Chains A and B, each alone.
Chain A
């Protein structure tokens, strides 16, 4: 099983994702340069956090035109697992691989802290290692993480169960006070309709060792590994 972590100019969580996958989860992983045009040989792809191209126009708006994004699109269409974290989520939305958009936090300030999120679905390849309505503590660090979808789209997303994580209280209640950025319906993560592409604002790779405050983030990566193993994409590196 082999993962690729895409490196855009300005990505800054690429090293963290690479480390989490290789040293903590124990899978093969390689960096994929933004000018690559093929993702051959990979089973899972990570679009990491950061400020791709400086995020100068709008977060993710320039990165979607990077040559590698065509390969990501083809990879996703072929059913490959794609996870976009933070800036990666923004890029996937800009690229149209995920519905909705991420706009500036309601506070209009960057916000960095560990927040509880509730797992809404456990039948996705990204959450199958979680319990239903399990509360995960995961770090957020973003200035533009307010998920937005027009009401019609939002209804569709909810109806089809595409909302995977929601900001909540430590007890798992989804309240306005527990919403750190003003996202509609407290949405922290969504999938595409097919369920093989996930975007999430929280950073699972920052929460994979006890010394970093906890290991809740492992569950996201372990879910992906389990899903790929079940699909016959090879085992975990010894």
Chain B
């Protein structure tokens, strides 16, 4: 491993092999090329150079972020496997374990939305298969520019179709997700996909090439020229030239993936496999070197034996192809015929291409001819350079704190709520999830749109898993440290709102160019925030992904550290959803005594959507309070006294209350009385729409209200009584009051459910269906509509 402060450190290179610095075209800096020469003790040949350039890309090697991962808490009593494998593994009892991970496919989706998103789904599923697990759920976290832009609508439509096209066919339900819109993602959308798998403890497999003499097999699809150098592409900023990178994007085949899942799980179940690894970014190069490096072994392969889709491929192309639906398998010696037979049954190739050696070298032949010879360790993540970039607080941080607040909300606050419900960030995402099969595998006890997390029934027991993925990019922009910690807190809160105890998390760090001090500051702050919240809430980090260089024409995206989290419900019959259940139930806000502090407007969707303002600082995040609020919600859920629970996030209490009313199709009659005065900094808009953390809107039968309040008191959690659930025909009525020296100020929201539902459910369809004439749509590489 080499250390440096910058990949652009000046260095003098005298190359006798290359007349011009070709390594630069492959994405390696001069300094990095010098490190390659040092690692090999000679200059690399063309194949070797290609291999280094792909594996030493940011996408594969995490050059700028690796030291930061050491900060994460990774252990816990249920954690069976943490960072380092394809995905972490957590014990869920009964001999079962859950494994999950998030991965980004941002740049491919920017140039080819359908295939970029589809292959993102395929790739993360193979990480789960490589753990020996059956994938049981997909989640996605997406970011786009503003839907008013036609090019953004094309990307949004293509990405959603791509996720649907792959996920639906492969038979893994897409059960939850989140979508955000902000101009900073205009040319560089974020497409992060999380997969969840279930595995019996004894079937957990690793990705290590152990056992000298064991065969090495390439299984699944054949190798073609597609996606060559995808990893390097993913590690550069997008510019006007990116369109010409389209050949760097792979094409997915969900049908083949479905067969690959079944065949891989069958060979694992039969105990034939020593190690298995997905061929993802940088294809055969990364899978072989990672498997060897993990085991401390070596691998030699004859590239002529790799099944190919097209003739005349060079070693460079075979090693760097990112053809999809392939895995590298190390079976037990003697098991190769049985492995072949099983893959053949599923109509797939399984070919012995080499064997495990003991000298730590990745040695590649074409027949008898040696074409590359590289220490596996040098190529692997551990061997790649590490940088400690400079960081600097961006200037905007101070500027946004000086932004003046607009006048408080008008007495009739109905238009403000309707506008927020119709804002695409807050609006119902039914247009998206209706295109995803969220029920296949018959585990979906709570699907998308009716709770803060999806709930998957474990048919094997009484238990259920809750799964969620979350991040507020706007909050992370205002204050990356608090925003990232809040993303962890919100993900955990989403889980407890269904009655699930959070187990662990996986992160997807999406940022701009880390070589810019402003951006690296955001990265490091976000990592610190995740660390702090993960520690406080006992949710270790068991895996993750980093996507940097998310920029368009030099402008970085809003920092987006996505948090995927899984929780366990011991008794699935106690699961809780967000919608109000019965007229007469009492509505409470857990975690809030309604200070209505104007600081709650920091980073709020209210200011952004209605006034175009981004203001700092963020509300204060008290992780100790957060933990107590979550414990309270869990205890009440387990006691069976929560009729509904819904996290208050974007749009504040007013939006949370309205969503519970709309999804339950029941009215609500609520009064929120601020406990602080105007003179103390309280405001009506902060009360109704502010985004203070650690708050959950719950409803309960009147006879259970006393129990709930007693539980809250015992835990030291503030609770405010908001009102009651009413008949649908009574509509939605919410009054906020704030005392001032002359008496009280009031704002009232009064609307029929139809009006609210139309705003909330209609917003995205109105933007999408008017402009996209489906009739002109063709699926596949030409993708997208228009």
Contact = CB atoms under 8 A, between A and B. Distances in A.
B439 A112 contact: yes
A110 interface: yes
Interface string B445-463: 1000000000001010000
Interface residues of B, number: 34
A12 B104 CA distance: 26
Contacts of B171: 12-13, 50-51
A109 B435 CA distance: 7
Nearest to B134: A15
B108 interface: no
A211 interface: yes
A53 B459 CA distance: 28
Contacts of B572: 211
A13 B347 CA distance: 19
Nearest to B170: A12
Interface string A172-211: 0000000000000000000000000000000101101101
Contacts of A13: 171, 440
Interface string B246-265: 00000001111011000000
A20 interface: yes
Contacts of A155: none
A212 B777 CA distance: 34
A54 interface: yes
Which of A54, A55, A110, A206 has most chain B Cβ within 10 Å? A110
B309 interface: no
Which of A10, A141, A211, A212 has most chain B Cβ within 10 Å? A211
B573 interface: yes
A51 B256 CA distance: 11
A10 B259 contact: yes
B9 interface: no
A112 B441 contact: no
Interface in A1-58: 9-10, 12-13, 15-16, 19-20, 23, 49-51, 53-56
Contact of A53 (B255, B437, B444, B777): B255
Given A10-B169, A141-B168, A212-B442, A51 B258 contact: yes
B774 A16 contact: no
A77 interface: no
B276 to A, nearest CB: 21
Nearest to B775: A108
A233 interface: no
Contact of B434 (A15, A50, A112, A208): A112
Contact of A19 (B347, B440, B442): B442
B251 to A, nearest CB: 13
B457 A212 contact: yes
B722 to A, nearest CB: 29
Contacts of B459: 19, 23
B438 interface: yes
Nearest to B164: A110
A152 interface: no
Given A9-B347, A51-B254, A141 B437 contact: yes
Contacts of B169: 10, 12, 50-51, 54-55
Contacts of A51: 168-169, 171, 254-255, 258
Contacts of A205: 442
Contacts of A113: 434
B436 interface: yes
A36 to B, nearest CB: 13
A143 B439 CA distance: 15
A211 B255 CA distance: 30
A55 B439 CA distance: 20
B346 interface: yes
B754 to A, nearest CB: 15
Q: How large is the interface on A (under 10, 10 to 19, 20 to 34, 35 or more residues)?
A: 20 to 34
Nearest to B174: A112
B259 A9 contact: yes
Interface in B379-438: 433-438
Interface in B322-380: 346-347
Interface string B134-170: 0000000000000000000000000001001100111
Contacts of A20: 442
Nearest to B441: A16
A107 B777 CA distance: 11
B775 to A, nearest CB: 7
Contacts of A111: 434-435
A212 B444 contact: yes
A116 interface: no
Nearest to A139: B439
Contact of B254 (A49, A54, A108, A141): A54
A107 B769 CA distance: 10
Nearest to A109: B435
Nearest to B168: A110
A56 B439 CA distance: 22
Given A53-B255, A111-B435, A112-B434, A16 B440 contact: yes
B538 to A, nearest CB: 28
A128 B774 CA distance: 40
Contacts of A143: 168
B442 A110 contact: no
Nearest to A54: B255
A33 B774 CA distance: 37
Interface string A90-125: 000000000000000001111111000000000000
Nearest to B444: A212
B174 to A, nearest CB: 9
B774 A107 contact: yes
Contacts of B457: 211-212
Contacts of A9: 255, 258-259, 346-347
A143 B166 CA distance: 13
Interface string B485-517: 000000000000000000000000000000000
A19 B442 CA distance: 9
Contacts of B441: 15-16
Given A54-B169, A141-B168, A112 B258 contact: no
Contacts of B161: 109
A108 B188 CA distance: 27
A112 B259 contact: no
B434 A108 contact: no
Contacts of A15: 441
Nearest to A205: B442
A20 B573 CA distance: 19
A140 B441 CA distance: 14
Which of B170, B258, B440, B573 has most chain A Cβ within 10 Å? B440
B258 A12 contact: yes
A121 B164 CA distance: 34
Contacts of B435: 109-112
5 nearest A-B pairs in the assembled complex, by CB-CB distance: A12-B171, A54-B255, A108-B774, A51-B169, A141-B437
Interface of B: 161, 164-165, 168-171, 253-256, 258-259, 346-347, 433-442, 444-445, 457, 459, 572-573, 774-775, 777
15 contacts: A9-B255, A16-B441, A19-B442, A19-B459, A20-B442, A51-B171, A54-B169, A54-B254, A55-B255, A108-B774, A109-B434, A110-B164, A141-B437, A143-B168, A211-B457
Interface of A: 9-10, 12-13, 15-16, 19-20, 23, 49-51, 53-56, 107-113, 139, 141, 143, 203, 205-206, 208-209, 211-212
Given A113-B434, A209-B442, 9 more contacts: A9-B258, A9-B347, A12-B170, A50-B171, A54-B169, A108-B774, A112-B168, A112-B435, A212-B442
